[in-house]
Structure 1
């Protein structure tokens, strides 16, 4: 059996498409990490005129201008009073030199204040300076706790058990927050889902060739007559393709993570996830969420690959098999985009093999099915899909006698 797995693994790795996909993923990992720099803006003075920087120049500028600091209530209050003084003096027409020197370096603190106190001024942020004082801002963490509890009450309507569990998780959050300029990492996190979908799709293009492709070119007739038998052959292909999927996943994620670390530095990975999602109860840093997303995501990627093999073992056409795989990939997106759908609909969406590809959002949000958080449901469903898919692949391949 082990020898057969090695032969299948060697066969898949030597396929021309595998080599092409390998290089595509390396290039893509670099490309998407660089793409994460776009949308960032930095500012410098040039003859007392503000000049806007973008991309990698903006990243370097932000890292130089914004300083790491403890975001204590006193620090936030001091920043607020300084910004209030500038606003009272200049209004919406702050001179470029004042903006670049005294406003822009405190963008991180300003964003936090706006997120937490914005509801008090109906999100008309200019009114914050009229309505609030430094003394109000010094109680930032009390206000954050109250606002978070209100948010949880809205999100977990009537689910008292889940509400209590989220509050217990929130108690583990380290406060006051410590701020490192996190430029780029929030965008890099957002692109993990897209990355996993691309990896999965490319792996599925390989997987459909192992059964459906051989059905079409007649090679399957030869393989079935070997001494190894259909069951062993089906199982060895499933294991070999899963190993190839893991290798390609590691290659991409390794390149992507290394590239992001070189572009953005690693200090910002120590930032609490609340600096991206302010009302999140997850007691983790950005770096911890980043790694959790990668580690849990691989289970869903393998799950989709094995379900694709299962479909491929049942269907003669590789195109049809790939079409089913694409449907599996996009189904959770469609389900999650349904506004005000019953909880049962979202639960069904989490049972899809590909639902863990978007697990970053689930790790940060407070999605519950009574007292069970959605990441647990997604991970358990992916593991069950792997087991069921492997069993059905073996069963279908053994019973297959030709057809469409």
Structure 2
């Protein structure tokens, strides 16, 4: 225990570690608040003049305006929303809401926007995927929204080239999604985007902390002394690994929890009951609310994070120069982003699943993967890519950590 505490102190007392830990904590507040600054709405003041609200004032106003229709997204509410849109479009002789005067949108349609979110998606053309205009929607047809949603899922997957086996698996998952959907004004897709970005930044900060754990001792020659001590091989390797993972793991989880608490406090905790299908695609497979999605994204990313930290520890145990170890760590932090964007789609999807931390990043992130319909195939086996990510990460962690211990002990011989 004494050696473990000393190793913890050794990592924590470096200036760069303290700076990064402080920045990580400050960023948890910044990344929670930034989406609030982008909220804006135009409304009428007490004397009838139009005023612009932004930030928390806009959030409060939209919550108050949408309070009456919050809750279950019934077909009656969806039909009412489409009817209001059609009425406004016909009145002004236009075909889309962006052609309407700004005050008409904010005064008449803004509160209904979430309820028409998925209507055009669900009633898209079965062959082309083209969404119909609001004026082309039949109110009677809109009433079959929840019956059409699974059909839309199957059609979308066929257009993307999925097999019937994949479609059947997706349908089974989609049946577990609670319907009618729930909607409460508050946390939006923009806020969730910032969680994705923040998780990536946290990972980079922690990679900087972990990368010199072994390589710095090699570089300074301290390892030459440590390897001669009673516990200078196996036990010291395990202690170094545990200390590094404890510091970075606690940092990741603590900062992630702070982000969730601050975000939900700013936007309202009731909005965590919103179905994720209301802010992402209606065809999203997970049966999660926004609040549950925040936690699944954090904890799932934590598993991927541990696999990446394990890889960086392994690299540190193999590299004698701290600067080179840091460069290698940064390379593997951004590699999943580059491969997902630059590689052919099938290769990018496989690398996203197979690389340690492959779903930590931007477009390649775990959260966005949970909104997609990608199934991976190995022989006759078909697995949703999110499930495969978790399985592979759980395998990588012990393999890489054992490899790290082996590498360190072998070098110490």
5 Å-filtered alignment, 1:366-377, equals 366-370=373-377, 371-377=382-388
Question: Using the alignment, how far apart are the partners of 1:39 and 1:207 within structure 2?
Answer: 35
Kept in 2: contact 1:45–1:96 (CA 8 A): no
Question: Using the alignment, how far apart are the partners of 1:150 and 1:40 within structure 2?
Answer: 35
Q: Partner of 1:36: helix, strand, or coil?
A: helix
User: How far is the alpha carbon of 1:124 from its aligned partner?
Assistant: 7.3
Q: Which residue of 2 aligns with 1:59?
A: 59
Matched, 1:318 2:290: no
User: How far is the alpha carbon of 1:213 from its aligned partner?
Assistant: 1.3
Cα distance change, pair 111–320 in 1 and its aligned pair in 2 (3 A): same
Q: Partner of 2:236: helix, strand, or coil?
A: helix
Q: Partner of 1:372: helix, strand, or coil?
A: strand
Kept in 1: contact 2:264–2:272 (CA 8 A): no
5 Å-filtered alignment, 1:137-156, equals 137-156=142-161
Backbone CA RMSD of aligned residues: 2.5
Q: Which residue of 1 aligns with 2:196?
A: 193
Question: Using the alignment, how far apart are the partners of 2:204 and 2:34 within structure 1?
Answer: 21
Matched, 1:364 2:381: no
Cα distance change, pair 156–167 in 1 and its aligned pair in 2 (3 A): farther
Unaligned runs of 5+ in 1: none
User: How far is the alpha carbon of 1:205 from its aligned partner?
Assistant: 1.5
Cα distance change, pair 339–73 in 1 and its aligned pair in 2 (3 A): farther
Q: Which residue of 1 aligns with 2:11?
A: 12
Kept in 2: contact 1:41–1:52 (CA 8 A): yes
Question: Using the alignment, how far apart are the partners of 1:306 and 1:141 within structure 2?
Answer: 44
Q: Work out the number of aligned pairs and report it.
A: 396
Matched, 1:210 2:216: no
Cα distance change, pair 339–123 in 1 and its aligned pair in 2 (3 A): farther
Q: Partner of 1:174: helix, strand, or coil?
A: coil
Give the TM-score taking structure 1 as reference length: 0.90
Question: Using the alignment, how far apart are the partners of 1:148 and 1:101 within structure 2?
Answer: 33
User: How far is the alpha carbon of 1:32 from its aligned partner?
Assistant: 0.7
Unaligned runs of 5+ in 2: none
Give CA deviations for 1:266-320 in whole Å, capped at 9, x if unaligned: 1111111111221112222111121111111111212222211111111111121
Matched, 1:132 2:131: no
Q: Which residue of 1 aligns with 2:120?
A: 114
Q: Which residue of 1 aligns with 2:396?
A: 385
Kept in 1: contact 2:121–2:131 (CA 8 A): no
Cα distance change, pair 112–100 in 1 and its aligned pair in 2 (3 A): same
Question: Using the alignment, how far apart are the partners of 2:137 and 2:388 within structure 1?
Answer: 43
Q: Which residue of 1 aligns with 2:233?
A: 230
Give the TM-score taking structure 2 as reference length: 0.88
Give CA deviations for 1:106-136 in whole Å, capped at 9, x if unaligned: 12123332333455998676x421x223212
Q: Partner of 2:42: helix, strand, or coil?
A: strand
Cα distance change, pair 35–345 in 1 and its aligned pair in 2 (3 A): closer
- Segment drifting more, 333-342 vs 205-214: 333-342
Q: Which residue of 2 aligns with 1:352?
A: 355
Q: Partner of 2:211: helix, strand, or coil?
A: helix
Kept in 1: contact 2:285–2:370 (CA 8 A): no
Kept in 2: contact 1:36–1:184 (CA 8 A): no
User: How far is the alpha carbon of 1:242 from its aligned partner?
Assistant: 0.6
Q: Partner of 2:10: helix, strand, or coil?
A: helix
Kept in 2: contact 1:73–1:139 (CA 8 A): yes
Q: Partner of 1:225: helix, strand, or coil?
A: coil
